[in-house]
Amino acid sequence: MDNTEYSRLKNLADAGIKDHTRAREAYEALYPVWKQGNLPARLNNSFAWVIYYHVRHEQETMPSLEMRQALAAYLSLDNERPSRLHSRILLMATRLKARDAEFKFGKFFEMWGMDNLTDEDWQQDKKEGREGTVTFVSVAEHAIRLYAKELHEKRAKGFNPDFEPLLVKAIKQYPTQSLYKYYLARLYAATGRKAKALKAYKKLALITGQSYIWSDLAALLTDPVQRKAALCKALLLQRDVNKTGRLHLGLAQLLIKENRFPEAACELRQYRDIYTRNGWHLSDYYQRLRQSVPADTQPVRDNRSLYQASLAALDDFLYSDLPEVALTLTTEFKDRRGNMSARLVTADGKAVFLPASRLLTDVQGVRVRHYLARIVNPDDRPKVVTLRSKE
């Protein structure tokens, strides 16, 4: 390329960077040169900025294909990484994914380089609104969430090994956010690290009441009684009936093995009703399970009592790792709602409250005063999950 042509392109690039309304003009001049492999190395950085300003200026109206081509061109350039520009390009890619579900963000993020995230990329943006301060997730969080979603859809096949340490960093950066702990647990499960997955899910189950945690756990647990209990817990927690179909199917399969055919038929009926109502295809697995139930079986009306009765099987799994703490009963009283409550204290004087109905009596009918308990969140709103007499 002669100096005259180089100067023309450099001037166009500078104009597009200075005046964003001219970024398209600069892009359309530089893109064909780049595509033909004739872009001088000294124009790499200028073209990278032109791409960014062109995409940012027209992101709402630019056709998805054109935006993909622009981002692909950027990735091929030899420019500084990590950098402010590199982070801005990642932001543009997250916005493209938001309006184009077909855009393979995961592949882009891998090529962009997960290790190129900077400390600034992890900073959440906070703005004052009418109802107080509003916090927006960081660029790094956006990228992690989009990558995790695609990873789950393809069942973690071919995941980038840089993603795991990225999740570990996210957990340290946002310790109160359980979502990244969930992504890590799911990654353990998908890559065959069952012991780590179970440990991670157990911790999640103690701090969050999300149905999907128990649904995932049911797939990992091998003990049929515990697996049934996990499915029951998931069903009790799931408020969106349309998301319970597979849970009903899994529970039906376990109930059939127990020869509890009326209860199994109830679960199959609920699965069928959900799928029929939504116009979804009934699975072949459902048909096989239905044939396993005797034809003259009358389904029970509702399995809710079965769900509740099954939950106790989870106690050993969930709480076995928690230490037992000595508690002493100090008083019983009526709370603000008129319900009888009990106040117990630990050896160091910390108070724990629970319904008086959970207290025990000895064989002579005398109230037990000394207990051993397992407590979740002992330092912040403690909750007694297991309780037995120490006497």
The last residue of a domain, from among 315, 339, 361: 315
**pLDDT band per the 50, 70, 90 thresholds, residue 157:** low
Residue 160 has pLDDT above 60, yes or no: yes
Closest CA to 191 of 157, 222, 165: 157
Residue 182 has pLDDT above 60, yes or no: yes
Closest CA to 48 of 66, 21, 23, 65: 23
Q: Which of 121-130, 227-236, 302-311, 338-347 shows the lowest per-residue confidence on average (mean pLDDT)? A: 121-130
CA 59 distance to own-chain centroid:
28
Q: Distance (Å, rounded) from C-alpha 15 to C-alpha 175?
A: 45
Examine residue 228 and state whether it is found in any structural domain, yes or no.
yes
Pairing between β-strand 125-129 and β-strand 132-136 as defined by DSSP bridges: antiparallel
Q: What is the pLDDT of residues 269-323, one digit of tens each?
A: 999 999 999 999 999 999 999 999 999 999 999 999 999 999 989 988 888 888 9
Residue 362 has pLDDT above 90, yes or no: no
Confidence (pLDDT) at 320: 84
Confidence (pLDDT) at 137: 93
More confident residue, 204 or 155: 204
**pLDDT band per the 50, 70, 90 thresholds, residue 156:** low
Examine residue 376 and state whether it is found in any structural domain, yes or no.
yes
8-state DSSP, 191: T
Query: What's 379's domain CATH number?
Result: 2.40.50
Examine residue 221 and state whether it is found in any structural domain, yes or no.
yes
Domains held by the chain: number: 2
**pLDDT band per the 50, 70, 90 thresholds, residue 130:** confident
Q: What average pLDDT score do residues 233-257 get?
A: 97
Instruction: Please report, for residues 39, 326, 371, 379, the alpha-carbon distance to residue 347 in angstroms, rounded to integers and kept in the order given.
Output: 74, 7, 11, 14
**pLDDT band per the 50, 70, 90 thresholds, residue 155:** low
Per-chain mean pLDDT for the chain: 94
Examine residue 153 and state whether it is found in any structural domain, yes or no.
no
Examine residue 113 and state whether it is found in any structural domain, yes or no.
no
Examine residue 345 and state whether it is found in any structural domain, yes or no.
yes
Q: What average pLDDT score do residues 168-186 get?
A: 95
Domain extent at residue 222: 217-315
Q: What angle do CA 177, 180, 181 make, to 5 degrees?
A: 90
**Domain match, 310 and 221 both:** yes
**Torsion from C-alpha of 228, 234, 235, 237, nearest 10 degrees:** 150
Q: Distance (Å, rounded) from C-alpha 89 to C-alpha 313?
A: 50
Q: What average pLDDT score do residues 46-74 get?
A: 97
Examine residue 147 and state whether it is found in any structural domain, yes or no.
no
The last residue of a domain, from among 299, 315, 331: 315
Inter-residue contact 136 to 152 (CB < 8 Å): no
Q: What is the pTM of this model?
A: 0.84
Q: Which pairs from 1-7 meet CB under 8 Å and 24+ separation?
A: 1/33, 1/38, 1/40, 6/40, 6/43
Examine residue 200 and state whether it is found in any structural domain, yes or no.
no
